[in-house]
Amino acid sequence: MTRLTVNERPVEFRMDPQTPLLWALRDAANLTGTKYGCGVGDCGACMVMIDGEALRSCLITLAEAEGRVVTTIEGLSPDRSHPVQQAMVAEQAIQCGFCTPGIVMSAAALLARNADPTPEDIKAAVPNLCRCGVYPRLVRAIQRAGRVARRLEAISAAPAPGLTPEDAARAVPAMKPAP
């Protein structure tokens, strides 16, 4: 039995420990936002965050995920309010949508560590393949999400007079911190 945290909840998988995390998430946990693309780590459709790092779930076994914190697209922002998700829509960086969850997870992990990425930073940190070719819009969307994240951080860091930082944080829907 493999134990890990998935989307902030403890989970036990009663599956072969050599099962790819992708299949445990999709088949056992019914978290189908994580997509099967190539199965060999080339496309990034199966990207999830593990301990805050974007990793391809088709290449990680349950045994390797034991005790770790996994965030899928469903857990990133259940109401789709994450700045990356909003920016992808605003910049029309979604076409067929198949690769979108993996791209969002790669971008969210990037912005958690660098909220002001250059186009080169984005290209290096978001290796996902998109058959529809939304790359220029994708770069704009991630930079837009970074601007929003920086504004949210500034608002929560400098609360209005009379508000404690805790009150300000509750008043502003901020990005979820990386696990």
Q: Tell me the two tokens of residue 133.
A: 């070719």
Size of the chain, expressed as the number of residues it contains: 179
Largest CA distance in the chain: 55
Position 130 in a domain: yes
| Pairing of the two strands 69-71 and 2-6 | parallel
CATH (domain of 151):
1.10.150.120
Q: How far apart are CA 105 and CA 55, in angstroms?
A: 9
Is the backbone of residue 92 left (phi > 0), alpha (psi -120 to 50) or beta? left
pTM of the model: 0.85
CATH (domain of 71):
3.10.20.30
**Same domain? 62 vs 121:** no
pLDDT of residue 175: 42
Per residue of the chain (179 residues), what is the pLDDT tens digit? 899 999 999 999 999 999 999 999 999 999 999 999 999 999 999 999 999 999 999 999 999 999 999 999 999 998 999 999 999 999 999 999 999 999 999 999 999 999 999 999 999 999 999 999 899 999 999 999 999 999 988 887 776 666 666 665 555 544 443 34
pLDDT of residue 47: 98
**Same domain? 155 vs 136:** yes
Q: How many CA atoms are closer than 13 Å to the CA of 98, on its beta-carbon side?
A: 11
Give me the number of domains the chain comprises: 2
